Amino acid sequence: MDAATCLKKLEYVGVLAFATVDAHGAPQIRNISAIHYEPDGMYFFTARGKEFARELERDGRVQILGYTKYKEMIRVSAKAVTAPAEEQKKWMDIIFTEQPYLINVYPGDTREIGIIYEIRQAQIEYFHLGVSPIFRETYTIGGGTETRKGYRITEQCIGCGTCLSHCPQKCITAGEQYSIQQEHCLHCGNCSEHCPVGAVRRIGED
Ligand code: SF4
Ligand code: SF4
């Protein structure tokens, strides 16, 4: 799996959920399909007057979610920025060609109220619940950085094996110091709750 394949899968999903933050700090979520995909990026259309555009202008953070019929969750956490002025028409024409329904929604030159945003600093999380053990991986595009999540086993481990017996995915490797197979981990926390010596810590909290 890689970032380009994740974007291709999102393209097949078609209609994605876009979450933003409003002026009161509340989450706002919408379905968006006016999207054009490149192997290393996404461009999307909205109208400048919409609250959605105001939220993007004010805050810029956006989280985009798609879910395939194969139980694959793909989440893009990114910054949305206005595409360069000299590229606005190009991306708009491409999106209107790929999504002909837009011609009915914004006929003629009314599309000029539109604005194209592109995704930057993106982290893409791929989470496949349809395989056993489950599989997850994270990628970045557009200058994004990976935020590590989940749990890790520290040097306090006494090798008792309790965590492994409680792990729903059996994704913990035994040893003098046990270790979590991060690519198969649910981030459920059951290992942490059952460790008798508190050796399992949430990543980023230690
Ligand atoms: S339960 Fe805790 S001490 Fe026991 S093997 Fe797992 S991490 Fe190590
Ligand atoms: S967080 Fe859950 S899935 Fe991951 S290692 Fe611990 S028990 Fe297993």
Domain-terminating residue out of 123, 141, 159: 141
**How far, in Å, CA of 172 to CA of 41, rounded?**
35
> Which residues lie closer than 8 Å to 194 by C-beta, 6 or more apart?
162, 163, 166
Tell me, in angstroms, the distance from the centre of ligand 2 to residue 170's CA. Answer: 8
User: pLDDT (tens digit, 9 = 90+) per residue, 105-135?
Assistant: 999 999 999 999 999 999 999 999 999 999 9
Residues 110 and 169 reside in one and the same domain: no
Residues 104 and 168 reside in one and the same domain: no
Ligand 2 binding residues, C-beta < 6 A: 151, 167-169, 171-172, 180, 185-191
* Res. 205 pLDDT band, cuts 50 70 90: confident
| Average pLDDT score over residue span 146-151 | 93
Closest by CA position to 152, among listed 125, 181, 132, 176: 181
Per the prediction, the chain carries an average pLDDT of 96
**How far, in Å, CA of 30 to CA of 32, rounded?**
6
Handedness of CA 66, 68, 10, 168 (dihedral sign): positive
**How far, in Å, CA of 142 to CA of 158, rounded?**
42
- Give residue for tokens 């999380």: 125
Residue 40 has pLDDT above 80, yes or no: yes
Residues 182 and 111 reside in one and the same domain: no
Give the residue whose CA is nearest to atom 2 of ligand 2: 188
Domain that holds residue 173: 151-202
Residues 189 and 114 reside in one and the same domain: no
Kindly tell me the burial class for residue 62, based on how many C-beta atoms sit within 10 Å of its own C-beta (0-12, 13-18, 19 or more): buried
Q: What is the pLDDT of residue 194?
A: 98
Mutate to test the pocket of ligand 1, among 155, 160, 180 (most ligand atoms within 8 A of CB): 160
Does any domain span residue 146?
Answer: no
Residues 89 and 164 reside in one and the same domain: no
Handedness of CA 73, 78, 84, 88 (dihedral sign): positive
CATH of the domain at 75: 2.30.110.10
